[in-house]
Amino acid sequence: MEKKTVRTSLDIPVSLHRRLHEAASRQSCSARQIILRGIERAVNEIAPERPPRRLSLDPPIIPSRGKPFDRTNEQIYDLIEFP
């Protein structure tokens, strides 16, 4: 299966173009590969960081000092008035 690509064009200075092809020759790869690696690196540097993991509440961070709660959900819903 062929990867989908987008063709684009860039205007770069002649001296940079020459250095790009020289670097590609030294690394035995194409100028395209060097350009793609550079773009990938730049995009990864500015990628958003993953949000921190949520804290686990088992056991609770602050222990309760009240009496144990032994009501079922049905009993709690019976005590609350809903509109």
Range of the domain at 30: 14-45
Q: Per this entry, what is the length of the chain? A: 83
Structural domain includes residue 40: yes
pLDDT of residue 57: 66
State whether residue 54 is helix, strand or coil. Answer: coil
3-state secondary structure 18-38: HHHHHHHHHCCCCHHHHHHHH
pLDDT of residue 78: 86
Structural domain includes residue 39: yes
Number of domains in the chain: 1
Structural domain includes residue 52: no
pLDDT in tens, the chain (83 residues): 568 889 999 999 999 999 999 999 999 999 999 999 999 999 888 877 777 777 776 777 777 787 777 888 888 888 888 77
Structural domain includes residue 33: yes
| 38/9 Cα distance (integer angstroms) | 16
pLDDT of residue 76: 85
